[in-house]
Structure 1
Amino acid sequence: LPFAVVGTLNGVHLFSRLRGATLHSTVTRGAKVVWRTYHDSVVLLVVTCDDGASDDHLGFLLDNVFGAMVMSVGLDAVQAIRNVDRLKRDLRGCYPLVDHLLSQLDQDSCTLGDLTGVADFLLCPESQALQPYLESFVEEVDSLYGCLLVRGKVAVATKHWLRLSPQETVLLAMAAHAGTKCISRDLPVYLPNSCPTVCNRLVTLQLTQGVELCLLCGPAPSLAVLEEEVCRFWNDAFDLLKSASSLHPRNFPLSSSSDKKVVAFPPLDKNILGFLLINTKRHKSLTSVHPLEDEIARTKEGKCISLRRRQEMLRVLYKSVVGRHFPASPHQEQPAVSGGADHSATEVYTCAETHKSYAIRTADHQLYLLFSPSIPTFAMRSVSHKTLKVLTTNKMCVL
Structure 2
Amino acid sequence: MGEDEGSITLLCLTASSGVPLFCRSRGTPSKHQLPFSVIGSLNGVHMFGANLDVLLAATCTANTRVAWRVFHNSITLIVLSSEEGASDFTLGRLLDNAFSTMVLILGLEELVNVRNIERLKKDLRACYKLIDSFLGPLEKTGDLTQCVECVPVPHGPVLQECLEAFAGAAESRFGCLLAGGRLALATDPWWQLAPQELLLLTWLVGVLPPHTTRDYPVYLPHGSPTVPHRLLTCQLLPGLEVCLLCGPSPGLPTVESELVPRFWKPLLEPLQACVRPPPPGAVLPPGVLAFLLVNGEQRSSLSSVQPPGSRGEGLSPRGRARALRHFYALVTTCYFPWEGSPAPLQEPFQAGFPHRAQHCYVVSATHKAYAIHAPQHQLFLLLAPNVPTFALRPLATRALQRLTEDAAC
Q: TM-score range by the shorter chain?
A: 0.7 to 0.9
Identify the residue that residue 332 of structure 1 maps to in structure 2.
341
> Corresponding residue for 1:285?
301
Asked if 1:377 is matched to 2:389, the reply is yes
Amino acid at match of 1:13: H
CA RMSD, 1 decimal: 2.0
How many Å separate the matches in 2 of 1:129 and 1:290?
29
Alignment check: 8 A CA contact 2:67 2:88 kept? yes
- Please say if residues 284 and 403 of structure 2, whose CA atoms lie closer than 8 Å, have aligned partners that are also in contact: no
Q: Tell me the CA shift for residue 52 of structure 1.
A: 4.6
Kindly indicate whether the alpha-carbon contact (under 8 Å) linking 1:358 and 1:368 is maintained by their aligned counterparts in 2.
yes
Counterpart Cα distance in 2 of 1:331 and 1:147: 27
What letter matches 1:373 in structure 2?
P
Per the alignment, residue 408 of structure 2 pairs with: 398
1:172-200 Cα deviation digits (max 9, x unpaired) = 00011114233222211000000111011
Instruction: Note the alpha carbon deviations across 1:83-103, whole angstroms, 9 max, x for none.
Output: 111111122211111111121
d(CA) in 2 for partners of 1:127 and 1:303? 35
Which residue of the partner structure matches residue 349 of structure 1? 361
Please name the residue that 2:270 is paired with.
240
Alpha carbons of 1:355 and 1:52: their partners in 2 closer, same or farther (altered >3 Å)? closer
Between Structure 1 and Structure 2, how many residues are aligned? Answer: 372
Q: TM-score normalised to the size of structure 2?
A: 0.86
Q: Output one character per residue of 1:207-260: Cα deviation in whole Å (capped at 9) or x when no partner.
A: 112111111112222222222131332112222122122126x236x5xxxxxx
2:233: which partner in 1?
A: 204
- Structure 2 gaps of 5+ residues are 1-33
1:258 aligned partner = none
The 2-side partners of 1:125 and 1:333 are apart by 37
CA distance in 2, matches of 1:33, 1:336: 21
Q: Residue 182 of structure 1 aligns with which residue?
A: 211
Matched, 1:307 2:317: yes
Q: Which residue of 1 aligns with 2:132?
A: 99
Task: Check the 8 A contact 1:326/1:335 in 2, yes or no.
Answer: no
CA distance in 2, matches of 1:325, 1:4: 40
Q: Percent identity?
A: 41
CA contact (8 A) 2:154 2:273 kept: no
Alignment partners' CA distance in 2, 1:76 and 1:179: 23
Distance in 1 (CA, whole Å) between partners of 2:39 and 2:204 is: 28
- How far is 1:338 from its partner? 4.5
- Of 384-393 and 169-178, more deviation after overlay is shown by 384-393
Q: Deviation string for 1:333-390 (max 9, x for gaps)? A: 9852453623443222122222211111122211000111221111111000111111
Matching of residues 218-257 of structure 1 within 5 Å: 218-228=247-257, 229-247=259-277, 250-251=279-280, 254=282
Contact 1:120/1:154 (<8 A) preserved: yes
1:255-306 superposed Cα distances (whole Å, 9 cap, x missing partner): xxxxxxxxxxxx32111111000011221111122322xx4xx55xx44543
Unpaired runs of 5+ residues, structure 1, are 255-266
Query: Where do 4+ consecutive residues of structure 1 move more than 6 Å?
Result: none
